[in-house]
Structure 1
């Protein structure tokens, strides 16, 4: 899922349309929005969710101290005020009065302390704990080197929170809007233990919407609904009484349901489907700050074979695979609407101090060169003593773009790299996430969407030991560049920050540590009668707080 406000703001589009009123219907009548997601959501536990689809649901039933508005700015949400010390290290936060959970429990500053301590506790295993790394002692706690209660946050009273940062973080108010920063009702979390968030009846809510017993999410069902939360502090701004969700994994089915009036939003995921629907009323494209890329298992563990392990540890072999990747052809065949990746950090997310798009500024030499790929492949294979090798390529089989990309690359790699056999492994999206996290792959097609509008939301993924560095590579040069960009004194100099981030992109490219494929866009069909739906290219993609249909 997701950055820095030292540079630019989240790209946001306010999606509005025509007001459609059925003939003879009363103006007050309201149709529930029928919203689809392409795969099952994994959890409602805001501490551990990792995928965009779970976040799109959880982010509408939960809320943090800030919430990004329709202009891409982090507004005060549960916070009444946020005061920052002159040195940028201390945040004094006062909560709004009379905040409540959906079960009636009072929401207090202690709920934030508990949630943040739970997130950084190694026992919890939160993959998003690193987003709390800006807070004093957080990284030491995550590494098991400090006590959980040493985290730099304390509740001064029921409504006052003091946060101490490890170093100035200009984008910290953006971070406060992230799911891992949401508060938790300790009583409820402890009641359900490991089952917390595995179904909608095993959690409570503090956001614009909530779940009820009717149309609940059981953890496996394909249809569920959320309802306006009567305990929400800003309930007057919530326009929909109910929003209905459907899991529609077949995009063709989604398009047909849309045309039949049974869906108001559905993603289009194949070239044929997009071409067939470009003239359909409501056709649109959402430009996400998201990059699809291939990760290589460089950990020396869990590879499919010793030969695969040796091969992917060789930089010439990795570079050969990168050079054998025809990104333009992949986009044309499998990812319509997207654009060819030229770096890991995507276009349109943030700008440099001089106003240039960061992705343009940090562009690398990722290219398609089959002749050079064959030469490097031959050299690398000789270096590791192999004449042929089988490499697994894993992708989410229940996401059409990912499956199409994998099928295309299997054929291309086997044609361009003599002696290579690709063992295609198409698995459910949930399994793909788990396999990547646990290192159970040779190569895996992953995707990352920015959490906030600043390059570190992408580049911090590959620092040594970071939980999302699934390939487990380590580069001293990369680590040094990232550290210089995010620590005093250079973090206070935007131009130097830009240069260090560009250096990190360069080290990624030179080491062929990953293989960026595309900057993702999502063509979709959306009922033009929907008003007030905010789309964000980073963080919570679809904010339904003020969305409605009349």
Structure 2
């Protein structure tokens, strides 16, 4: 894990939530199986280490935390029966529901949370989401290897009660409690399987609305699997479907055809051609996510494809030229219909400032398409590093149609706009793209980030010096100072000042051309109109199937 990971305080806006509800008897719904598709393989069911939205879609429906975001966008009580907060906002007394059980029949107790949270912040675990536990006292010191896990600000007072101590007031902490890294773990099972825990459904146990069974389970590589209503779930009466089938369909054309044949109830439409062909199809819908697609530049001084690439990407003029050569409107028209042009890193529609303005509007920067200026800066940058031409590798997920189409478009655009540039396109599986980005094995990489909660820090924490998700490994004193001021006392107690500091962080990203925001993502899809009770959230668990059923 990297050092310097912190989390702080500011005002939280309501999560954007779409709920599809209608009348229907429980018996009617439970006799039918929803057939749901995802575009790429599940990477893990280990809630401590999973990082991608597709793994989260599965894990968030078979596991659960102390809170769960509800249809109104609130952090509602889930495994917790009560959460009492001290006047100073530093101490949380949490009471669990009675008689909680894991899917294997084991008792679920307060110790399961202590074990899970200590495992997450332990540097040996390598949890990329450990930073979300940075709100707890001593968490950042433990992550940095400067304290032992037993110093973490959580303790079990009894089987059904926890005391959580925060490093500083964090008013959105109840939202954090709904995140996967805050889920409890059955220590006996985790220790039994060790590094194999979560690599398949038979090496995991469940406490959520659904669970896996031995038949139709997830083996770690299979493309079809099913989840079933969990009889040990405390709120099993609210679970309307007995079974939900999942299928990994990387070819979106196949998904659309299966939907039209009645063999799928949900599939994404990630290409312009598919959207044009299906806009009038019954069930066409667009899900607006709090998600930004962006390009990262390797500024680490390591692992670039060549010494020339390494020198070039350390030059601000080169990076700014690439930003200016990015025709965002062209990308959206060609590859990402339904999405919108990014003018900041934090996406639109996610959170509001203290005055009620959309934060992305308040903090927008002058990201623009200017090929003439891009050419001038490019030539200036090449001259500064002693080059007349340059080859850069551009990596993207080849098994995700929008990523592949975006990379193809930009490869051509960059080579046409910037003299002497050759772009080698490296299309790899999504899992490899995640690994390569994390390990710095890229020149340029097309990344994406979805918000975990409705507050700017869920995006802006990515790029502090040493943060594990700062894949480009750049360091900006201005950025670090702005983020620290927004998330620590005393300014953290003033919402207006918090807004100003977050805006300054956005400005530092733009002025240094450290990253290249491309678009705010939308997900066009086909969904059977008979699906009711599915909750869509723009942050966190996007597709909550707890109350979903086919009418």
TM-score between both structures, scaled by the size of structure 2: 0.97
2:532 counterpart SS class: coil
Q: Is the 8 A contact 2:9 2:486 kept in 1?
A: no
- Structure 2 Cα separation of the partners of residues 27 and 497 of structure 1: 50
Q: Is the 8 A contact 2:288 2:538 kept in 1?
A: yes
Three-state SS of the structure 1 residue aligned to 2:549 is coil
Alpha-carbon separation, structure 2, partners of 1:233 and 1:50 = 27
Residue of structure 1 equivalent to 2:4: none
Q: For residue 325 of structure 2, what is the aligned residue in structure 1?
A: 324
How many angstroms does 1:490 deviate by? 1.3
Q: Kindly indicate whether the alpha-carbon contact (under 8 Å) linking 2:29 and 2:550 is maintained by their aligned counterparts in 1.
A: no
Residues 1:303 and 1:76: Cα distance change in structure 2 (over 3 Å): same
Aligned partner of 2:20 among 15, 18, 42: 15
Summarize the alignment of residues 345-356 of structure 1 with structure 2, pairs less than 5 Å apart.
345-356=346-357
Tell me, which stretches of 5 or more residues in structure 2 are unaligned? Answer: 1-7
Residue 402 of structure 1 corresponds to which residue in structure 2?
403
1:65-464 correspondence to structure 2 within 5 Å: 65-464=66-465
CA distance in 2, matches of 1:500, 1:30: 53
Query: 1:197-245: per-residue Cα shift (whole Å, max 9, x none)?
Result: 0000001000000000010000000000000000000000000000000
Change (3 A) 1:18 1:247: farther
Could you tell me how far 1:30 is from its partner in structure 2?
A: 2.3
User: How much does 1:18 deviate?
Assistant: 8.3
DSSP-derived class of the 2:468 partner: coil
Q: Confirm whether residue 538 of structure 1 aligns to residue 532 of structure 2.
A: no
Q: Residue deviations 1:3-22, cap 9 Å, x none?
A: 9761301110102368799x
Q: Determine the C-alpha separation between the residues in 2 that align with 1:343 and 1:460.
A: 14
Structure 2: distance between partners of 1:202 and 1:137:
31
Q: What secondary structure is seen at the aligned counterpart in 2 of 1:454? A: coil
Return the offset for 1:29.
6.5
SS of 1:457's partner is helix
Residues 364 and 206 of structure 1: CA distance in aligned 2, closer, same or farther (over 3 Å): same
Assess if the C-alpha contact under 8 Å between 1:59 and 1:179 holds in 2.
yes
Tell me by how many angstroms 1:28 deviates: 6.6
- Distance in 2, matches of 1:525 and 1:351, equals 30
Give 1:27 shift.
Answer: 4.5
In structure 2, how many angstroms separate the alpha carbons of the residues matched to 1:4 and 1:90? 15
**3-state DSSP of counterpart to 2:35:** strand
| Contact 2:103-2:207 within 8 A present in 1 as well | yes
CA offset at residue 307 of structure 1? 0.3
Change (3 A) 1:120 1:27: closer
Does the CA-based 8 Å contact 1:320-1:376 persist in structure 2? yes
Contact 1:258 1:266 in 2 (8 A): yes
Counterpart of 1:478 in structure 2 is 479
What is the number of residues matched between the two proteins? 545
3-state DSSP class of the match of 2:526? Answer: strand
1:18–1:529: 8 Å Cα contact kept in structure 2? no
Distance 1:381 1:167 in 2: 47
Distance in 1 (alpha carbons) for counterparts of 2:398 and 2:24: 38
Residues 17 and 530, structure 1, Cα contact 8 Å, conserved in 2:
no
- 1:58 aligned residue: 59
Displacement of 1:492 in angstroms is 1.4
Q: Quick check: 2:100–2:233 contact (8 Å CA) kept in 1?
A: yes
SS of equivalent residue, structure 1 residue 424: strand
Partner of 1:490: 491
1:33 matched to 2:38: no
Describe the superposition over 1:422-467 as per-residue Cα deviations: whole angstroms up to 9, x where unpaired: 0100000000000001000000000000000000000000001111
In structure 1, what is the Cα distance between the partners aligned to 2:270 and 2:254? 11
Q: Distance in 1 between matches of 2:12 and 2:247?
A: 37
